């Protein structure tokens, strides 16, 4: 056959392949780490009411039949409205916008696992959470296949694997948490047998440039082991990523936090070959003049009215002087001194260990509103007590001192502790001759966060009698301010460091 004829035949064959190929586009819309930011609190802040309007515009543009809408967690907690409703306000947008999948984040369990199950009950069909399973309830789905624009899209859902280090060992009494990497390994053969056209991992963990020594974020390890994952929708770290390649071929996308941006991905697929041809993505941010989503606003109206009332109604008298969240806890910080005094009074202990929880202050002469209190105490921690010796207390404080530049650092209260000049030893002096004293600390600190192994080991000792009182840290501070009207906090230097000679 002449060369020209062979070229013609090859061209026709190629043209036939193009005709036989079934090329489709699917759009994926992602939110994450909104933290119950329903309405805009400050300039450049986020608003789920506005983000919902933006989301609806994209859904209308591309069509629900060609789109997936996914949230990657930390949805329920993070604002006063989230706290007032104990997470309920975060559920309403998921319902209203008809999300296809919701992957819970670590803060979605802050109101307790029982409360999470209550809120999750009507959303069972959209929850994907393969590495966390209730022990007394039906399991959550690990993955689900969606058909969009004639393409079969497998979506795998995984939450944070590090939960016990933030929520405490007792969190494991209600559920089993596994590493995301191991959980994906268990289900990937099943996913691949279905021959999906595209595989998406939606995860409440983030990609990082460097290796994560604590393995809080497993994304890099996951895509290295499973390069068949086409797209990772990340979260948890609050970092905005418009989209880039990670590993050998996987695309990574993350919208940031606080309801500021929507992540938008366009996936081109050849369904005849079950193959993703191209992924492109970007972040679409709300603007000052972005309208609110009217149906969502109507569904939230009752809570929005309660929010306005909480911003203006005093719940405690004004302090006698400013209580500032600056300085070093245990040395010269009024805020940590207030926390410690409040926890010790509520739990009836002689010692307390606490730091600051935000940069917010309580101002002299200004009655404290629920809004002020939430900004000062923005987490749902409870008070944990432990009965410790002076030697154990010194060990706990010394370990904290090693993390003194971290936001997790806590200062001591109720006993003087001296740190040696070389920072390698400490001595605690109890206020009396008793061999043990009860120490109050918050539940996040008690969980250790992976940074405080000595504290964790001490709290596991039977003789220490570690107990979660169930008393909310926020309620303890509220009660203290109410019982001590016009309180003035003068920090005492409980923690001292020897000077080097």
Query: Can you give the pLDDT at residue 327?
Result: 96
Query: Can you give the pLDDT at residue 501?
Result: 58
Query: Can you give the pLDDT at residue 8?
Result: 59
Q: Is the pLDDT of residue 236 over 80?
A: yes
Query: Can you give the pLDDT at residue 20?
Result: 46
State the CB neighbour count (10 A cutoff) for residue 469: 17
Q: Is the pLDDT of residue 5 over 70?
A: no
- Among 3-17, 90-104, 302-316, 485-499, the range scoring the smallest mean pLDDT is 3-17
Q: Is the pLDDT of residue 206 over 70?
A: yes
What would the two tokens of residue 173 be? Answer: 């009494």
Q: Is the pLDDT of residue 2 over 80?
A: no
Second CATH level (architecture) for the domain 314-497? Alpha-Beta Complex (3.90)
Q: Is the pLDDT of residue 190 over 90?
A: yes
SS3 of residue 253 by DSSP: strand
Q: CA 193 to CA 196: how far, in whole Å?
A: 8
Q: Which long-range contacts (CB under 8 A, 24 or more apart) does 185-193 make?
A: 185/225, 185/226, 187/130, 187/142, 187/143, 187/156, 188/226, 188/228, 190/143, 191/143, 191/154, 191/156, 192/228
User: How far does CA 198 lie from the centroid of its chain?
Assistant: 27
Q: Is the pLDDT of residue 179 over 80?
A: yes
- Among 39-53, 90-104, 181-195, 268-282, the range scoring the smallest mean pLDDT is 39-53
Strand order, beta sheet including 275-285: 101-102, 67-71, 23-31, 261-270, 275-285
H helix runs in 121-255, sequence order: 164-167, 180-193, 219-225
Q: CA 346 to CA 169: how far, in whole Å?
A: 23
Percent of the chain at pLDDT exceeding 90: 87
Q: pLDDT tens for residues 388-413? A: 999 999 999 999 999 999 999 999 99
Q: pLDDT tens for residues 54-106? A: 999 999 999 999 999 999 999 999 999 999 999 999 999 999 999 999 999 99
SS3 of residue 411 by DSSP: strand
Q: pLDDT tens for residues 418-435? A: 999 998 999 999 999 999
Q: What are the DSSP calls for 440-482, one per residue?
A: EEEHHHHH-TTT-HHHHHHHTSGGG--EEEEEEHHHHHHHHHH
Query: Can you give the pLDDT at residue 15?
Result: 46
Mean pLDDT throughout 469-493? 97
State the CB neighbour count (10 A cutoff) for residue 379: 18
SS3 of residue 192 by DSSP: helix
Mean pLDDT throughout 265-291? 97
Q: pLDDT tens for residues 7-54? A: 455 554 444 444 446 899 999 999 999 999 999 877 778 899 999 999
What would the two tokens of residue 449 be? Answer: 């966060």
The vertex-238 CA angle with 234 and 242, nearest 5°, equals 60
Q: Is the pLDDT of residue 188 over 90?
A: yes
- The mean predicted confidence, pLDDT, of the chain is 93
Query: Can you give the pLDDT at residue 4?
Result: 54
* Domain residue ranges in the chain: 21-307, 314-497
Contacts of 495 by beta carbon, 8 Å cutoff, 6+ apart = 328, 330, 331, 397, 401, 411, 412, 416, 417, 419
Contacts of 494 by beta carbon, 8 Å cutoff, 6+ apart = 330, 331, 411, 412, 413, 414, 415, 416, 417
Q: Does domain 21-307 have CATH number 3.60.21.10?
A: yes
Query: Can you give the pLDDT at residue 12?
Result: 46
Query: Can you give the pLDDT at residue 365?
Result: 94
Residue linked to tokens 């509520």: 346
Q: pLDDT tens for residues 141-168? A: 999 999 999 999 999 999 999 888 888 7
Residue linked to tokens 């009860």: 438
Task: Judge if 21-307 and 314-497 fold alike in CATH terms.
Answer: no
Instruction: Please report which helix (H) or strand (E) contains residue 269, including its range.
Output: strand 261-270
Query: Can you give the pLDDT at residue 41?
Result: 79
Q: CA 148 to CA 288: how far, in whole Å?
A: 33
Q: Is the pLDDT of residue 297 over 80?
A: yes
User: How far does CA 378 lie from the centroid of its chain?
Assistant: 13
Q: Of 474, 408, 367, 366, nearest to 80 (Cα)? A: 474
Mean pLDDT throughout 175-184? 95
CB 11 within 8 A of CB 4: no
Q: Of 252, 231, 230, 234, nearest to 243 (Cα)? A: 252
Query: Can you give the pLDDT at residue 19?
Result: 43
Query: Can you give the pLDDT at residue 14?
Result: 46
Q: Of 85, 123, 102, 129, nearest to 34 (Cα)? A: 102
SS3 of residue 258 by DSSP: coil
- Among 206-210, 358-362, 373-377, 482-486, the range scoring the smallest mean pLDDT is 206-210
Residue, of 111 and 44, whose pLDDT is higher: 111
Q: Is the pLDDT of residue 183 over 60?
A: yes
Query: Can you give the pLDDT at residue 10?
Result: 52
What would the two tokens of residue 278 be? Answer: 């191209």
């Amino acid at each position: 056959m002449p060369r020209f004829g062979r070229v013609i035949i090859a061209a026709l064959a190629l043209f036939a392949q193009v005709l036989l190929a079934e090329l489709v586009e699917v759009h994926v819309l992602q939110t994450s780490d909104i933290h119950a930011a329903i309405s805009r609190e400050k300039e450049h802040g986020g608003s789920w009411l506005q983000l919902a309007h933006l989301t609806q515009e994209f859904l209308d543009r591309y069509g629900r039949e060609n789109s997936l809408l996914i949230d990657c967690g930390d949805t329920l907690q993070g604002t006063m409205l989230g706290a007032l409703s104990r997470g309920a306000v975060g559920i309403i947008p998921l319902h209203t916008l008809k999300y296809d999948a919701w992957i819970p984040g670590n803060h979605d369990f802050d109101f307790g696992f029982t409360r999470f199950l209550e809120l999750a009950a009507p959303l069972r069909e959209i929850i994907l959470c393969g590495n966390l399973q209730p022990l007394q309830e039906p399991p959550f789905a690990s993955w689900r296949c969606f058909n969009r624009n004639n393409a079969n899209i497998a979506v795998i859902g995984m939450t944070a694997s590090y939960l016990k280090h933030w929520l405490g060992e007792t969190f494991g009494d209600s559920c089993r948490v596994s590493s995301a990497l191991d959980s994906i390994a268990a289900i990937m053969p099943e996913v691949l047998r279905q021959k999906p056209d595209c595989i998406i991992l939606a995860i409440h963990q983030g990609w990082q440039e460097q290796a994560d020594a604590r393995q809080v974020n497993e994304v890099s390890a996951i895509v290295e082991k499973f390069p068949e994952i086409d797209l990772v929708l990340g979260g948890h770290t609050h970092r905005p990523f418009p989209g880039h390649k990670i590993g050998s071929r996987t695309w990574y996308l993350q919208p940031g936090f606080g309801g500021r941006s929507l992540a938008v991905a366009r996936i081109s697929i050849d369904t005849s070959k079950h193959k993703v041809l191209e992924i492109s993505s970007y972040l679409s941010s709300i603007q000052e003049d972005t309208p609110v989503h009217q149906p969502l606003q109507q569904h939230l109206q009752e809570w929005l009215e309660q929010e306005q009332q909480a911003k203006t109604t005093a719940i405690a008298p004004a302090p006698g002087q400013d209580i500032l969240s600056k300085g070093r806890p245990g040395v010269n910080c009024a805020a940590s001194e207030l926390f410690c005094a409040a926890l010790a009074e509520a739990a009836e202990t002689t010692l307390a260990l606490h730091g600051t929880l935000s940069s917010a202050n309580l101002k002299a002469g200004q009655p404290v509103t629920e809004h002020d209190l939430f900004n000062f105490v923005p987490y749902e921690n409870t008070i944990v007590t432990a009965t410790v010796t002076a030697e154990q207390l010194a060990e706990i404080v010394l370990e904290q001192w090693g993390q003194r530049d971290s936001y997790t650092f806590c200062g001591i209260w109720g006993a003087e502790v001296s740190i040696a000049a070389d920072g390698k030893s400490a001595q605690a002096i109890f206020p009396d001759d008793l061999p043990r004293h009860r120490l109050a600390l918050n539940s996040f600190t008690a969980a250790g966060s992976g940074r405080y192994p000595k504290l964790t080991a001490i709290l596991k000792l039977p003789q220490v009698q570690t107990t979660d009182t169930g008393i909310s840290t926020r309620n303890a501070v509220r009660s203290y301010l109410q019982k001590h009207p016009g309180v003035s906090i003068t920090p005492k230097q409980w923690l001292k460091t020897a000077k080097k000679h």
